[in-house]
Chains A and B, each alone.
Chain A
Amino acid sequence: MDNLGFIVAGYSLTWATLLWYSWRTNRRLGVAAHALSEWTESSDGLTDGYEADAPPA
């Protein structure tokens, strides 16, 4: 396969970018859900059913 370095770099970059963005979004989602859950626990009468597990590392 000619130009192997460019091809491997291109596919690796694509995979790494999409996986990174997905991971980052899910992590932010976990942080936001946890913050909202903490907020509802500390504010009586504001519960609206959000559930969150432990905060992401």
Chain B
Amino acid sequence: MIVTSKSGLANVIGIAALALFLVGSFVGLFVVPADGMQGDIQRLMYVHVPAAWLAFLSFFVVFLMSVLYLIQRDLRWDRVAQSSAEIGVVFTVLTLALGSMWGKPTWGVWWTWDPRLTTTAIMLAIYVGYLAIRSFADDPDKRARWAAIVGIIGFANVPIVYLSVIWWRTLHQPPSSPRSVSPEILWTLMFNLAAFSVIYVYLMMRRIRLAKLEGELEQRMAYHG
């Protein structure tokens, strides 16, 4: 373990994330009442929706850092983009898996080629491709340039995922508004969203640090053979 003040801060954030998610899970499972229409299975919303939102946020960060990299050609932006893409992929896999677990008892199927599900699967494929393309270039600048182009073009699909339930008639429900949801459900969802956001910050701190160390190792190996 590296001993720095940054890792000390990351540990504090990690413990806070763990505590927040413990409370969020407890409230989502045992405190907030079951949904009047769907019953208890709606409790999966408290992990499914935050995972989806954090996936969107992760890929927005990839887009932003990719633009910054192409403007400034600074590898620090590439490291942030790479880290956020990897974490975004984890959140997207979770979103799809949790959606599937929610879909089976609600819709009767694990998977259907519904526009929301299909565009989310495409989003996952784009960012898995983003991570894969990085392994095709040895030169860090070339790798960062290729990845930045994919990170910018690939982001075009993210608003499509969000708007798919509005644009097309889908099996997936449209986004709920705070006025149509009871306060207990809304606050529990917001609390879990906050917990997931702190988890994202923690994971990003660790993953960016890893990308930095791996970059330095790669640089030294290239320099010394």
Binding site for B on A (CB under 8 A): 1-4, 6-7, 9-11, 13-15, 17-18, 21-22, 25-26, 28-30, 32-33, 35-36, 39, 43, 46, 50-53
B63 at interface by CB-CB < 8 Å:
no
Q: Is the pair A3, B40 in contact by a Cβ cutoff of 8 Å? A: yes
B101 at interface by CB-CB < 8 Å:
yes
Per the bound structure, the CA–CA distance linking A4 and B105 in Å amounts to 11
**Shortest CB distance B57–A (Å):** 15
Q: Which residues of A contact B97 (CB under 8 A)?
A: 13
Per the bound structure, the CA–CA distance linking A18 and B196 in Å amounts to 10
Q: Which residues of B contact A18 (CB under 8 A)?
A: 21, 90, 94, 199
Interface size class of B (residues with CB under 8 A): 35 or more
Q: Which of B185-225 contact A (CB under 8 A)?
A: 199, 202-203, 206-207, 209-210, 213-214, 216-217, 220, 224
Q: Is the pair B2, A33 in contact by a Cβ cutoff of 8 Å? A: yes
**Shortest CB distance B207–A (Å):** 6
Per the bound structure, the CA–CA distance linking A21 and B25 in Å amounts to 19
Which single residue of chain A is at the shortest CB-CB distance from B29?
A: A11
* A36 and B104 contact, Cβ closer than 8 Å, known pairs A2-B40, A18-B199: no
* A25 and B207 contact, Cβ closer than 8 Å, known pairs A6-B102, A6-B104: yes
A-B contact count (CB 8 A): 97
* A29 and B41 contact, Cβ closer than 8 Å, known pairs A17-B90, A53-B1: no
**Shortest CB distance A45–B (Å):** 12
Stretch at the interface among B43-51, B67-75, B161-169: B43-51
Q: Which residues of B contact A21 (CB under 8 A)?
A: 87, 90, 203
Interface string of B25-40 (1 = CB under 8 A from A): 1001100001000011
Per the bound structure, the CA–CA distance linking A23 and B98 in Å amounts to 21
Q: Which residues of A contact B1 (CB under 8 A)?
A: 26, 29-30, 33, 52-53
Q: Which residues of A contact B2 (CB under 8 A)?
A: 29-30, 33, 50-52
